[in-house]
Amino acid sequence: MKAAGSDLDQRRMQRLLGYNLAIASAAAFKRFDKHVTTVHGLRRVEFTVLVLIDSNTDVTSKKLGTALGIAAPNMTVMLDRLEKRELVRRVKSEADGRAQHLVITRKGKLLAAKAEAAAAEAEGELLDLLSPAEQGMLFELLQKLGAHRRG
């Protein structure tokens, strides 16, 4: 079977999960970059971190790094960028003075909300190709696979 816009036979590759995920991801990332990165100035991982901080309490750099598979030095650099843009703040933990919690600022909340709406719209372009049942199944299956990412 030839992919749309291609004269290459991709049947052997289309039997591989990684290939199919990469092709689908490329389509999603292209739309995200157009609607979120270009318009709101947030990279995919920065958007993810901002929304996770907004959605959780007692968030630390270590918790984020573990959840997203990001090394501590890389997480520090990214958080420094978000803090410089006044989107997040580091606050010393009251329970453990050695720990710093991450808190989203008002500016960060506003940007996260706008970017989340833009991301949903961008993804809608692809998700509209699927029925609601197919969308539910897609998310369920991806989450099932993602739960085993450390294996």
Per-residue pLDDT reduced to its tens digit, 23-69: 999 999 999 999 999 999 999 999 999 999 999 998 999 999 999 99
Q: Which of 83, 66, 65, 85 is nearest to 74 (CA)?
A: 65
Q: How far apart are CA 131 and CA 137, in angstroms?
A: 10
Residue 16 pLDDT exceeds 70: yes
Residue 94's pLDDT band (cuts 50, 70, 90): confident
CATH of the domain at 111: 1.10.10.10
> Is residue 1 one of the residues assigned to a domain?
no
Q: Give the pLDDT score at 151.
A: 52
> Is residue 115 one of the residues assigned to a domain?
yes
Q: Give the pLDDT score at 95.
A: 78
Q: Give the pLDDT score at 147.
A: 86
Which of the two residues, 106 and 98, has the higher pLDDT score? 106
Structural domains counted in the chain: 1
> Is residue 124 one of the residues assigned to a domain?
yes
> Is residue 126 one of the residues assigned to a domain?
yes
Residue 4's pLDDT band (cuts 50, 70, 90): low
Q: ∠9-14-15 over CA atoms, to 5°?
A: 125
> Is residue 8 one of the residues assigned to a domain?
no
* Containing structural domain, residue 42: 13-146
**pTM recorded for the entire structure:** 0.86
> Is residue 17 one of the residues assigned to a domain?
yes
> Is residue 141 one of the residues assigned to a domain?
yes
> Is residue 83 one of the residues assigned to a domain?
yes
How many CB atoms lie under 10 A from the CB of residue 55?
10
Q: Give the pLDDT score at 24.
A: 95
Residue by residue, DSSP assigns the chain as -BPTT--SB-TTGGG-HHHHHHHHHHHHHHHHIIIIIHHH---HHHHHHHHHHHH-SSB-HHHHHHHHT--HHHHHHHHHHHHHTTSEEEEE-SS-TT-EEEEE-HHHHHHHHHHHHHHHHHHHHHHTTS-HHHHHHHHHHHHHHHTTTT-
- Mean pLDDT across the chain: 93
Percent of the chain's residues with pLDDT above 90: 84
Query: Residue 79 class from Cβ within 10 Å (0-12 exposed, 13-18 middle, 19+ buried)?
Result: buried
What tens digit of pLDDT does each residue of 59-91 get?
Answer: 999 999 999 999 999 999 999 999 999 999 999
